[in-house]
Structure 1
Amino acid sequence: MQIEYYKLPLKLHLLTQKKEHEKCNLSESVAGMIHLIAVTYFGECKHDSTFGCEIWEHDFENISNPQQYRENLIKSVQQTIQKQEKRLTDIRVDIQVEQIDYKFIQRRIKSRITLKVHATLLATNESFVHYDQFFIGPLSYF
């Protein structure tokens, strides 16, 4: 029997309208949780201040030691995933931080975070890979 999970983001208005919420499989549910961990800063989740990661602690800072910054991010994300996502085992995290010349309305240098998570789904013993990318900091040189 395959268990169904609710797809993120939750659409609570569907509950008040007595409609069915969209569902997903185990792998998609875990990927949604990892994405949520990556885009949440510590303290944002009121009932658990340890939910989130260190990425957002340095959002607007100039990074003086990029290698140390990257290692701290990897450690932070890995620790949070191990604590919050009990459906995974053998978790390995890799993060790349790149400076991107981002041209939208005006020229800005932004940091692009590339997150890769390799693990094993505990329930099925299947290999799990999650890949995510996002930008931080309006101006962050290193």
Structure 2
Amino acid sequence: MPEHFYHKPFRFDTIFSGAELQSTDLGKSISNHIELIIFTRYGENRHNHDFGCEIWDLDFELIVSEAIWEEKFRKSLLKSIIGYEQRIDQVEVEVHISEVENVYPLRKITEIKKKVDITVRGKIRTTGEKYYFNIALFLSPLST
């Protein structure tokens, strides 16, 4: 029996009209689940308080050492992916933080944000294929 993976976000008008939900492939389904892990704060899921990752707690932490911050977040994310995404093995997580400066000359505003690049690599258990996921997040807007 083949498994069905559904496209995110769900289209509620499709659900209520009784039509079939849009499906997606295994790789995209894994990516959607990893995004959910990243975007969920510990304690936010009322049925499982351990689901999520630490980025939302680290977002407001004063970054003394970028290397320590990256490693702390990397370990948190790796633990959650290994624990909650059972469809991939040999999981490796890389996290890199950098600063991005946006200048808005008409408004005379300079905005500095922290950019976090996240890369996840692994192997899909059922097919043996290599798995790759990459996302960039922007944190902590600082404006002048």
In the superposition, the TM-score normalised over structure 1's length comes to 0.90
| Alignment match, 2:70 | 70
User: Match for 1:120: what amino acid?
Assistant: K
**In 2, distance between residues paired with 1:12 and 1:44?**
23
**In 2, distance between residues paired with 1:63 and 1:94?**
18
Q: CA RMSD in A?
A: 1.8
| Alignment match, 1:110 | 113
Tell me by how many angstroms 1:129 deviates: 0.4
Matches within 5 A, 1:101-140: 101-103=101-103, 106-139=109-142
- Structure number with greater CO (CA < 8 Å, separation at least 6) is 1
**In 2, distance between residues paired with 1:102 and 1:50?**
36
Tell me by how many angstroms 1:51 deviates: 1.2
Q: Is the 8 A contact 2:58 2:69 kept in 1?
A: no
Deviating more after overlay: 85-94 vs 33-42: 33-42
Percent identity (aligned): 27
Larger Rg: 2
| Alignment match, 2:99 | 99
**In 2, distance between residues paired with 1:47 and 1:8?**
21
User: Match for 1:83: what amino acid?
Assistant: G
Q: Flag structure 1 segments of 5+ consecutive residues without an equivalent.
A: none
**In 2, distance between residues paired with 1:102 and 1:45?**
34
